[in-house]
C-alpha cells in the first residue's frame, strides 16, 4: 500500500473502513450467529448508559441500562437491586427465520461499536450500535446495500411495564422506583427517505435508505452531596431534550470516537496470534480449553477490561458496579452493588496502570459520599471517633446491607486515592482529597489497635473474608463459610492497616506535613504484628497457626500484602514471598472469576509468569450462557466474567493481572524511587510481543517490545521529571529524566 493511501485510510473513521476478512483477534469479539442469551449479547456503554446488542435477523433486541436506576436509600439495610431499564424491540418483515450464511456479529473495541451484518436476497443489511458520552445517547444505525430496503418496526418498553407514549417519530416512557426515584427513556427515529408511521404501540419505518435510532435514559438521581439524591431536574425533559438535540449519526459517531479513542488509544498490547486466533470468539474459548495456544485471546481479554471500564466509569458518573453497569435482571446477584472486601476495589486495579486515570474518578466521588454518610450514621456498630467505617456491601447512596461490618474496608478504599497520586503526581488531589482520608483513617487505626499476646499491635476484632476457623466439639478445626466471629490479629486487617500507614507516610513525605503525626504513624507501623510464617511454611491467615492446607476458599485475603499491597515483595522480603507461594499453591489455581483474576496478579508479583498464565487460561474456560448461576469461574460467550453468576470484577481484575505480568512499579528503593520492573513475569507462551503505553508509578509511560522471551526495546517517558530505577532481570539502571523526556533501551542489558 502506498503511503498516500495509508494516510487516507488512517484519516477515515474506523466505521467507514471495509471490514477486514478476519477481524482483528486482539480487538474484536465476533460470532457467526445471533445471541440467544443475554450472556452472548454484546455490550456498549458511555459511562452512564449501557446497551446489549443481540443481533437477531427477524427480531432484534437491544436491552439497556442507566447506572443510576437504583432503588434503596442511604440507610443500613438500604441496599436494593440495581434495576434493568428497558428494551428496544425491532422486527424486520420478510426477514428469514434462519441465520443467513454470511451472518456476522461483532464488537469492535477499537471503534467502540457493536455490529451485525448479513445478506438476504442480494441485499446486505447492516446495524451498528454505539454509546456516546458527548451526546449522552445510545444510537443505532441501520442501513442496506440497496436504496429503499430498510424496513422495520420499533417498540420501546419499560421493564416495570409503564405505558409507552407513541409520537410521530418518537417513543417515550416514564416511571418511579419504590424510593421515589423518577426515571424516563425516549427513543427517536430518523429515517433517510422512506416513511415513519405509528403502529399503535410502536413506529413502522418503510422503504428507507437508512435509519438512525437515538435512545436517551435518565433519572433524577444526583450523586453529591451525600443524602440529597434528587437533582430536581425532570428526567422526562432531560431525555426529550437529548433526543431532540441528537446530532446526525456521522457527527455523533465522530465525537464519540474522539472521546473514546483518547482513552482507549493510550495503550496497545500485542502477544502474537496463532491459528485459533482467527476463530469466532466462542469457538476460541473452546479451542483454548482444548489446549490450542491463542495468546491473542489474552490480549482481547486485556483490551476488553479497558473497554468495559471506559464504558461504565466516566467522570461525574457512578463507579462501575458488580456488573459494570450492564444488567437485565430484576434481582441481580448481590444486588449488583459495591462489595468492599475485594470486588469494587478489583474493578479499579486496572485504572491507573492502563492509563485510564480519569475512569478512576467516579470511585473517588463514591468513596467521599460513602464516608460522609458513614460519618453521620446513627448505626452504633460503625460509629467511630474519627474517620469512618464501611460495611461489606454498599449502594450508590452510601447505604449498606447490614452484613457485615468491614472494619478495614475504608482503609482499602483509601489506598485508591494514594494510588491515583502515585501514578499521576497530582499534588492538589493528594492534599485535598487523598490525605484527609489517609490521615483520619490512620488516626482511627492508631486508636483501635491493641497489644496482642506478644506485645505487638493487633486489630481487636479482625476478619478474613468470608470464612473462619471454627473448633468442633471433637477439637478439630474446620473452616466455616461466612463466619463473622471477631478474629483479633487476622492477617487481612493487619496487612491493610500496614498498607494504610505506608501510604499515609508516603503522602506525608510528599506533602511535608506534620512531622509529629508522621512519627506516630511510623512508630505504630513498626510495632504491628505480622505477616508471619506458619507450621507448613504458609503465610498465616489468622493470628493462631490454624491454616488448613486443603482450604481452597475463594478469598485470598491474607495475601493482600502481596497484591494489591506492597508489604510482601519477591525482592525485599523473599522469605515472606516464599511463604506466600506456599499459601497460593495450597489455595490452587481455581475459584470464582475474581479469585482467579487475583491469583494472576499474585503469581505475577512472585515473578512466575508461567503460573500466572495458567491461572489466566483457567479464567478463559468457557462457561455456557445458560448455566449462569452454577459451576466455577471462567468466561461467558461474550467474555463477561463468570463468578458464576456474572460479575465484571474478574474482567477488570484480569486486565490488571496481565499488567503485573508485563510491568510492575510498586517496589521502592530506600530513597523512595519507584522501581520500574520491565517484563517481571513474562510466560513462555508469550515469546514475542509488545506492550505500549502502560503507566508506572512516579509518572512514567513505558513501551516495551520483546522477541523470543528477550527484551529488545524499551522506551520510558517521564511525565513528572522524577528519578526512578529501571530493572530488567538482574540489570538495573538509575533513571534521571527531565519532565516530558524519554530514554530508549535497545537491549536487555539496559544500556540506553
Sign of CA dihedral 609, 611, 617, 619: negative
CB of 343 to ligand FUC, least distance (A): 5
The pattern of x and - marking residues 482 through 511 that bind ligand FUC according to CB under 6 A reads ------------------------------
For ligand FUC, the closer of residues 299 and 323 by Cβ is 323
Contacts (CB under 6 A) with ligand FUC, residues 366-405: none
Stretch that binds ligand FUC, among 13-21, 47-55, 95-103, 336-344 (CB under 6 A): 336-344
Residue environment code for 81-105, b if the CB has 16+ CB neighbours within 10 A, otherwise e = bbbbbbbbbbbbeebeeebbeebbb
**339, 340, 651, 685: which one binds ligand FUC (CB under 6 A):** 339
**554, 605, 695, 727: which one binds ligand FUC (CB under 6 A):** 554
Peptide bond before residue 379 is cis, with ω within 30 degrees of 0? no
For ligand FUC, the closer of residues 100 and 631 by Cβ is 631
Q: Name which of 609, 751, 620, 619 is nearest 689 in CA terms.
A: 609
Contacts (CB under 6 A) with ligand FUC, residues 447-466: 466
Stretch that binds ligand FUC, among 337-345, 371-379, 431-439, 449-457 (CB under 6 A): 337-345
For ligand FUC, the closer of residues 306 and 554 by Cβ is 554
DSSP string, 133-151: TTTTEEEEEEEESSTT-EE
For ligand FUC, the closer of residues 273 and 592 by Cβ is 592
CB of 558 to ligand FUC, least distance (A): 15
For ligand FUC, the closer of residues 554 and 697 by Cβ is 554
Angle, alpha carbons 31-37-41 (nearest 5°): 50
For ligand FUC, the closer of residues 311 and 633 by Cβ is 633
State how far the alpha carbon of 658 is from the alpha carbons of 418, 603, 681, in Å. 22, 11, 9
Q: Are 604 and 612 in contact (CB under 8 A)?
A: yes
Residue environment code for 386-416, b if the CB has 16+ CB neighbours within 10 A, otherwise e = ebbbbbbbbbbbbbbbbebbbbbbbbbbbbb
Contacts (CB under 6 A) with ligand FUC, residues 137-156: none
Give the helix/strand (H/E) hosting 305: helix 295-312
For ligand FUC, the closer of residues 391 and 706 by Cβ is 391
For ligand FUC, the closer of residues 132 and 339 by Cβ is 339
Interface with ligand FUC, residue 406, by CB under 6 A: no
C-alpha cell read off for 611: 503460573
Total interface residues for ligand FUC by CB under 6 A: 11
State how far the alpha carbon of 542 is from the alpha carbons of 149, 409, 491, 533, in Å. 68, 18, 6, 11
Interface with ligand FUC, residue 541, by CB under 6 A: no
User: How far, in Å, CA of 394 to CA of 387, rounded?
Assistant: 17
Stretch that binds ligand FUC, among 294-302, 339-347, 371-379, 515-523 (CB under 6 A): 339-347
State how far the alpha carbon of 535 is from the alpha carbons of 128, 464, 494, 578, 586, in Å. 59, 19, 19, 14, 13
For ligand FUC, the closer of residues 85 and 334 by Cβ is 334
Q: Which residues pair with 481 in a beta bridge?
A: 467
Angle, alpha carbons 57-205-251 (nearest 5°): 90
For ligand FUC, the closer of residues 142 and 556 by Cβ is 556
Stretch that binds ligand FUC, among 122-130, 236-244, 291-299, 333-341 (CB under 6 A): 333-341
For ligand FUC, the closer of residues 484 and 520 by Cβ is 484
For ligand FUC, the closer of residues 277 and 647 by Cβ is 647
User: How far, in Å, CA of 359 to CA of 80, rounded?
Assistant: 25
**Residue 244 CB neighbours (<10 A):** 12
CB of 463 to ligand FUC, least distance (A): 12
**Residue 596 CB neighbours (<10 A):** 29
Q: Is 98 helix (H, G, I), strand (E, B) or coil?
A: coil
Stretch that binds ligand FUC, among 230-238, 335-343, 568-576, 713-721 (CB under 6 A): 335-343
Stretch that binds ligand FUC, among 69-77, 334-342, 440-448, 701-709 (CB under 6 A): 334-342
**63, 491, 592, 685: which one binds ligand FUC (CB under 6 A):** 592
DSSP string, 358-387: HHHHHHHHHHHHHHHHHHT---GGG--SSS
Rg (CA), the chain: 26
C-alpha cell read off for 413: 478504599
CB of 226 to ligand FUC, least distance (A): 24
Interface with ligand FUC, residue 343, by CB under 6 A: yes
CB of 507 to ligand FUC, least distance (A): 29
The pattern of x and - marking residues 464 through 483 that bind ligand FUC according to CB under 6 A reads --x-----------------
Place of cell 493470628: 543
Contacts (CB under 6 A) with ligand FUC, residues 640-679: 643, 647
C-alpha cell read off for 621: 474456560
CB of 77 to ligand FUC, least distance (A): 17
**334, 397, 445, 542: which one binds ligand FUC (CB under 6 A):** 334
CB of 319 to ligand FUC, least distance (A): 15
Contacts (CB under 6 A) with ligand FUC, residues 16-55: none
List contacts with ligand FUC (CB under 6 A): 322, 334, 339, 341, 343, 466, 554, 592, 594, 643, 647
Amino acid at each position: 500500500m502506498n503511503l498516500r493511501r495509508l494516510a487516507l485510510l488512517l484519516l477515515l473513521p474506523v466505521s467507514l473502513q471495509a471490514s477486514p476478512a478476519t477481524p482483528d483477534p486482539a480487538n474484536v469479539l465476533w460470532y457467526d450467529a445471533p445471541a440467544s442469551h443475554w450472556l452472548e449479547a454484546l455490550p456498549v456503554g458511555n459511562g452512564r448508559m449501557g446497551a446489549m446488542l443481540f443481533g437477531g435477523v427477524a427480531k432484534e433486541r437491544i436491552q439497556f441500562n442507566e447506572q443510576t436506576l437504583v432503588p434503596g436509600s442511604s440507610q443500613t439495610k438500604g441496599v436494593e437491586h440495581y434495576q434493568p431499564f428497558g428494551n428496544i424491540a425491532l422486527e424486520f418483515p420478510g426477514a428469514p427465520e434462519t441465520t443467513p450464511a454470511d451472518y456476522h456479529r461483532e464488537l469492535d473495541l477499537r471503534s467502540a461499536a457493536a455490529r451485525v451484518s448479513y445478506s438476504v436476497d442480494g441485499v446486505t443489511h447492516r446495524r451498528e450500535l454505539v454509546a456516546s458520552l458527548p451526546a449522552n445517547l445510545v444510537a443505532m444505525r441501520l442501513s442496506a446495500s440497496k436504496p429503499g430496503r430498510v424496513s422495520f418496526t420499533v417498540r420501546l418498553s419499560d421493564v416495570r411495564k409503564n405505558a409507552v407514549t407513541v409520537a410521530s417519530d418518537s417513543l417515550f416512557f416514564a416511571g418511579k422506583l419504590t424510593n421515589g426515584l423518577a426515571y424516563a427513556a425516549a427513543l427517536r427515529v430518523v429515517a433517510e427517505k422512506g416513511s415513519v408511521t405509528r403502529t399503535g404501540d410502536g413506529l413502522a419505518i418503510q422503504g428507507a435508505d437508512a435509519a438512525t435510532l437515538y435512545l436517551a435514559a435518565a433519572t433524577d438521581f444526583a450523586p453529591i452531596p451525600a443524602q440529597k439524591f434528587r437533582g430536581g431536574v425532570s428526567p422526562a425533559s432531560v431525555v426529550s431534550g437529548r433526543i431532540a438535540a441528537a446530532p446526525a449519526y456521522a457527527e455523533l459517531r465522530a465525537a464519540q470516537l474522539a472521546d473514546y479513542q483518547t482513552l482507549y488509544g493510550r495503550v496497545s498490547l500485542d502477544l502474537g496470534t496463532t491459528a485459533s486466533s482467527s476463530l469466532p470468539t466462542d469457538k476460541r474459548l473452546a479451542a483454548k480449553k482444548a489446549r490450542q495456544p491463542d495468546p491473542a485471546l489474552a490480549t482481547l481479554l486485556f483490551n476488553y477490561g479497558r473497554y468495559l471500564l471506559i464504558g461504565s466509569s466516566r467522570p461525574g458518573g457512578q463507579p462501575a458496579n458488580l456488573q459494570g453497569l450492564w444488567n437485565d435482571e430484576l434481582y441481580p446477584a448481590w444486588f449488583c452493588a459495591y462489595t468492599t472486601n475485594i470486588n469494587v476495589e478489583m474493578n479499579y486495579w486496572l485504572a491507573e496502570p492502563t492509563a485510564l486515570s480519569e475512569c478512576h474518578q467516579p470511585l473517588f466521588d463514591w468513596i467521599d459520599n460513602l464516608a460522609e454518610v458513614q460519618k453521620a450514621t446513627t448505626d452504633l456498630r460503625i460509629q467511630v471517633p474519627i474517620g469512618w467505617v464501611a460495611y461489606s456491601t454498599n449502594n450508590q447512596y452510601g447505604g449498606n446491607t447490614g452484613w457485615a461490618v468491614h472494619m478495614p474496608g475504608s482503609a482499602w478504599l483509601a489506598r485508591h486515592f494514594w494510588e491515583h497520586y502515585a501514578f499521576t503526581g497530582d499534588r492538589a488531589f493528594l492534599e485535598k482529597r487523598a490525605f484527609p482520608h489517609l490521615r483520619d483513617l490512620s488516626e482511627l487505626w492508631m486508636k483501635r489497635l491493641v497489644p496482642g499476646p506478644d506485645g505487638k499491635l493487633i486489630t481487636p476484632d479482625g476478619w478474613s473474608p468470608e470464612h473462619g476457623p471454627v473448633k468442633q466439639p471433637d477439637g478439630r478445626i474446620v473452616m466455616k463459610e461466612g463466619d463473622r466471629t471477631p478474629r483479633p490479629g487476622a492477617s487481612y486487617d493487619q496487612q491493610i492497616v500496614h498498607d494504610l500507614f505506608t501510604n499515609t507516610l508516603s503522602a506525608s513525605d510528599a506533602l511535608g506535613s506534620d512531622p509529629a503525626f508522621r512519627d506516630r504513624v511510623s512508630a505504630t507501623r513498626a510495632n504491628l504484628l505480622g505477616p508471619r510464617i506458619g507450621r507448613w511454611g504458609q503465610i498465616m491467615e489468622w493470628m493462631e497457626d490454624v491454616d488448613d492446607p486443603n482450604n481452597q476458599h475463594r478469598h485470598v485475603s491474607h495475601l493482600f500484602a502481596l497484591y494489591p499491597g506492597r508489604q510482601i515483595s519477591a525482592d525485599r522480603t523473599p522469605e515472606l514471598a516464599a511463604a506466600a507461594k506456599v499459601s497460593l499453591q495450597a489455595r490452587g489455581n481455581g475459584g470464582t472469576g475474581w479469585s482467579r483474576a487475583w491469583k494472576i496478579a499474585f503469581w505475577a508479583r512472585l515473578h512466575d509468569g508461567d503460573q500466572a498464565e495458567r491461572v489466566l487460561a483457567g479464567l478463559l474456560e468457557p462457561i455456557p450462557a445458560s448455566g449462569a448461576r452454577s459451576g466455577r469461574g471462567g468466561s461467558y460467550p461474550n467474555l463477561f466474567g463468570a463468578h458464576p453468576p456474572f460479575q465484571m470484577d474478574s474482567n477488570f481484575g484480569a486486565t490488571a493481572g496481565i499488567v503485573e505480568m508485563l510491568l510492575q512499579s510498586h517496589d521502592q528503593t530506600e530513597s523512595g524511587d519507584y522501581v520500574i520492573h520491565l517484563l517481571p513475569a513474562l510466560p513462555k507462551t508469550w515469546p514475542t510481543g509488545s506492550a505500549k503505553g502502560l503507566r508506572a508509578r512516579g509518572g512514567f509511560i513505558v513501551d516495551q517490545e520483546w522477541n523470543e522471551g528477550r527484551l529488545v526495546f524499551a522506551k520510558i517517558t517521564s511525565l513528572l521529571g522524577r528519578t526512578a530505577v529501571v530493572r530488567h532481570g538482574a540489570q538495573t539502571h538509575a533513571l534521571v529524566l527531565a519532565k516530558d523526556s524519554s530514554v530508549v533501551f535497545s537491549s536487555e542489558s539496559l544500556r540506553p
